[in-house]
Structure 1
Amino acid sequence: MTSTAFRIGGDLSVRRLGFGAMHLATEPGPARETSLAVARRAVELGITLIDTAYLYGGGANEELLAEALHPYPDGLLITTKVGVAQSGPLGEWQLAGRPEVLRDQVEQALRRLRVERIELLQLHRVDPRTPLADQVGTLRDLRTEGKIGRIGLSEVTVDELDQARRIVDIASVQNRYNLLDREHEPVLAACAAAGIAFLPWRPVAWGESGARAEVAAVAAELDATPTQVALAWLLGRSPVILPIPGTARIDHLEENLAAERLHLTRAHHDRLDRLPELTQGSVSSVTTEAG
């Protein structure tokens, strides 16, 4: 039977099926009120892992979660990401891994989330203009200072993961991965071998799963949706996978969580494993679609 829990870093227990907050609207108005309700409903339904980032609205997403959920219930992990910033005449988002930037973004995240320590802090992207050792070393120093509990990386290669692990313990990796896009299979394998949590972003291929006849057929056989099949496949793919599907609707949130109860047989897994990939290609720039 598929386990529904995982210990990040070997000690921080979370429910494997989490929630990605990226799609929650933060501007004042009815949409924001709905976002607050979705975040609260996620916790009511037992979600213990919520993913956000400075990139999501320049910190507005973090502030929304704090408004919705603080004081946080015991066992709730809100993980955030740093390492991108707005600069230039048009305020474009760019990679920003300089130590002073990372330090400032962590301090600001602590304030916005209303916490004294971020239990899991992830580097949103590796900035090629700054040595990886400086970026990871800064996060290691912040951990030593007690401002970070555990360190994660996002959108990294196996080599980058290996380099980072020679500097500090890495508790999680957040790379793009789903039923139709398995470009980062080697990274997943490395995480599985080391017991590192793997948080796939874009976990359901944004509706493309339902366009595949085989996925639709499996969904029909199980009286489920293609999205539920895609999430159940991820949960069965490796015990280190922690999917974080995002939505701005309560009904979709409840639908996603129901995937945890969906049983895919070995035959179902074999059929889905053989699907040809629809690889999206590498992310070359930072956008609001980034995980």
Structure 2
Amino acid sequence: MGPPADREGALAVLREAVDLGITHIDTSDAYGPHVTNELIREALHPYPESLFIATKVGAVRDENGGWPPVRRPEDLRKQVQENLVSLGGDTLDLVNLRLGDAGGRGPESVDEAFGTLAELQKEGLIRHLGVSNATAEQIAQARSVAPIVCVQNMYNLAYREDGALVAELAAEGIAYVPFFPLGGFSPLRSETLSKVVRRVGASPRSVALAWLLRRSPNILLIPGTSSVDHLRENVAGAGTALSDEDTAELDTIGR
């Protein structure tokens, strides 16, 4: 919510990410609101051809920092246009429909909202579609309206509710993008994790991210950071080698 404490530092993180070879950036015009997209545009526009920017619509920020759902067709069209303007471009690479609310997932029909995004895709404003904070039933419902390329849900070492879903999506060639891959606003803490960290000789961040990458080939990571040092640490996680023993121990953490 609001501008970053260190604007130049935020721009440096974005530029360093691309320099490190990262090709997938996750954002939303609701972050800030507007601030994050404007920073991405300032730091990286014109975008490298290899860069894939995923955004989301379906919720906005209120003055208290809440996430009220806003998913009427006219509102979704407005949010897509706002993302186009703030990012600077004629087409959005990927738009995820964010479902549920700040409390998590919830039952609701996605037909009308996802149908609106499918119309915008046909109009050439969106290349690919996905869903976020979605149940298995909502994912199936969205797929009955239009093809999806990814699901963005909460998943990490400690929170494994989507375990079966990850495998099902992998079989269908659909990416699974876990948000809060490092545990959310409270870092992952576990004696088992600490034990593996000591044995591997890497940071807890690197081990947690390496576990996710080893979990399934369709997992794409979006750990957030405002620090270049943490960014480099996160990237190092992609190269952290975990043995079968390490993985089996880490598997005991979640539920």
TM norm structure 1: 0.81
Q: Does structure 2 retain, via aligned residues, the 8 Å contact 1:98–1:130?
A: no
Is 1:107 aligned to 2:81, yes or no? yes
How many corresponding residue pairs? 250
Match of 2:94 in 1: 120
Give structure 1 stretches of 5+ with no counterpart: 1-22, 278-291
The answer to whether residue 69 in structure 2 is matched with residue 95 in structure 1 is yes
Once the two structures are superposed, residues 136-180 of structure 1 have per-residue CA deviations (whole angstroms, 9 ceiling, x without a partner) of 100100010000000010011111101110110011110000011
Q: Pick closer, same or farther for the CA change 1:217–1:91 going to 2, 3 Å.
A: closer
Equivalence map 1:134-283=2 (5 Å) = 134-206=112-184, 208-209=187-188, 211-277=189-255
User: What residue ranges of structure 2 are gaps of 5+ in the alignment?
Assistant: none
Q: Choose between structure 1 and 2 for higher RCO, CA contacts under 8 A separated by at least 6 residues.
A: 1
SS at match of 1:151: strand
Aligned-partner Cα distance in 1 for 2:223–2:193 = 18
Asked if the contact 1:126/1:132 (under 8 Å) is kept, the reply is no
**Structure 1 segments of 4 or more deviating over 6 A?**
127-130
**Are residues 157 and 90 of structure 1, via their aligned partners in 2, closer, same or farther at CA, if it must alter by over 3 Å?**
closer
Q: Distance in 2 between matches of 1:232 and 1:91?
A: 32
Q: CA deviation at 1:213?
A: 1.1
Counterpart position of 2:55:
80
Cα 1:102–1:193, aligned 2, differ >3 Å: closer, same or farther? same
Partner residue in 1 for 2:10: 35
- TM norm structure 2: 0.92
Please tell me whether the aligned partners of residues 114 and 142 of structure 2 are also in contact (alpha carbons under 8 angstroms). Answer: yes
Alpha-carbon offset, residue 243 of structure 1: 1.2
1:8-57 deviation per Cα after TM superposition (whole angstroms, max 9, x unaligned): xxxxxxxxxxxxxxx9x735xx6011100111111111000000112211
Q: CA deviation at 1:251?
A: 0.5
Cα distance change of structure 1 residues 130 and 161 upon mapping to structure 2, 3 Å threshold: closer
Percent sequence identity is 42
